[in-house]
Structure 1
Amino acid sequence: MRIILAEDNDILRKSLSFFLESKGFSVDQFSDGEEALQAIQNNPYDLILTDINMPGKSGMEITQYVREHISAETPIIILTSSGVEQTELDSFDIGANEFIAKPVSPAVLLVRINKLLNKRF
């Protein structure tokens, strides 16, 4: 299973990528939303994992673009440090499947990914 991880926090991105790869996923990581969107446009991904606030394009812009131009089927999980309820509601309105507040628990993230991908573990 191939995942794209768009997160501008280097430590979080690298640790989540390492964790997901240890669970058998192939992870392409990006710290810039514009670069992540270009990768999404050029490659098939089984799941998109994106932060909201990033340089280039935001996670909201990535989500909206994917839903409008690429695929209604690709699961999208949005990560954010924002505790604002409206941000979560807006994420779901534009097509996110899951919304996870930071700090992210890798174990909880894995359960949500597996749920979205209908994997048995």
Structure 2
Amino acid sequence: MKILVAEDDSLIQKTVELKLKKEGFEVICCNDGKEALERIEEHMPDIVLTDMMMPYASGLEIVAKVKSITSKKIPVIVFSTMGQENIVEEAFELGADDYVTKPFSLTELTIRIKRQLKR
């Protein structure tokens, strides 16, 4: 299973990547929204995890892009910080499947990913 992680905070990105690789997933990391949009097209991941606030393209643009791919139903989990409820709401309107608030537990994130992948 391939997971694309779009996160501009390198510490969060690295921590999530290590945990997911340990769980047996193939992980594709992106440092900004533009790179994520290119990689989604290129790799067609099984699930996408994206931060809402990133350089070049926002998490909302990534959600919209993933949900426009009709050939494959790809779940999207968004990361948000406290106080971004309006953005999270917009992400759900665009088709996001779940969200986690930063800081988050890696165990909880892994459980949420596995739950999305089972659907």
TM superposition score category, shorter chain reference:
over 0.9
Q: Which runs of 4+ in 1 moved over 2 A?
A: 82-85
Q: How far apart are 1:66 and its partner, in Å?
A: 1.7
Percent identity of equivalent pairs: 36
Normalized against structure 1, the TM-score is what? Answer: 0.92
**Corresponding residue for residue 90 of structure 1:** 90
Q: How far apart are 1:56 and its partner, in Å?
A: 1.2
**Corresponding residue for residue 28 of structure 2:** 28
Q: How far apart are 1:88 and its partner, in Å?
A: 2.0
Q: Quick check: 1:101 aligned with 2:87?
A: no
Q: For residue 6 of structure 1, what is the amino acid of its counterpart?
A: A
**Corresponding residue for residue 77 of structure 1:** 77
Deviates more, 1:109-118 or 1:77-86: 77-86
Q: How far apart are 1:65 and its partner, in Å?
A: 1.5
**Corresponding residue for residue 53 of structure 1:** 53
Structure 2 gaps of 5+ residues are none
Matches within 5 A, 1:12-27: 12-27=12-27
- Count of paired positions: 118
Q: For residue 11 of structure 2, what is the amino acid of its counterpart?
A: I
**C-alpha separation between the residues in 2 aligned to 1:85 and 1:40?**
25
Given that 1:83 and 1:101 are in contact with CA atoms closer than 8 Å, whether structure 2 keeps it comes out as: no
Structure 1 gaps of 5+ residues are none
Given that 1:2 and 1:25 are in contact with CA atoms closer than 8 Å, whether structure 2 keeps it comes out as: yes
